[in-house]
Amino acid sequence: MAKVLIPVVFQGPTRGESEAIVEGDTIVACFDLVEEKFPGLRELVIDPATGEIHKFVKVTLNGELLERDAGTLAQSVSATDEIEVIAAIAGG
C-alpha cells in the first residue's frame, strides 16, 4: 500500500490526518482513493480543469520531485512507495 503524506495546510479535508495509506497502482489512483476517504483533498492537489498538479503544489514520489503534467500522474506506484504533497507558500 502506498503512503500519501499530506501537509498541514491541506489537512482540512483530512480532519488533521497527515497521511493516508491506499492501494492505488498509479499516482492519480492513489489520489482518487484518498479522495474517497477525505472528500475535497484531490481538488487541492490536482486541478479538475486540466487534470494536472496545481501550479502552487509540488508532489514527490519517494523524495523525487514530479513534473506537473497528467502523464506523470499516470506513473505506476508500488506498495512501498511514498507520495508527498508539498504546498508551495508564496509571500510578498
pTM over 0.75: yes
* Residues forming a β-bridge with 60: 65, 84
Does residue 73 contact residue 42 with C-beta atoms inside 8 Å? no
Residue 46 resides in a domain:
yes
Give, for all 92 residues of the chain, the pLDDT tens digit: 899 999 999 999 999 999 999 999 999 999 999 999 999 999 999 999 999 999 899 999 999 999 988 889 999 999 999 999 999 776 65
The count of domains in the chain is 1
Q: What is the CATH number of the domain that holds 14?
A: 3.10.20.30
Question: Which range marks the domain in which residue 52 is found?
Answer: 2-87
Residue 92 resides in a domain:
no
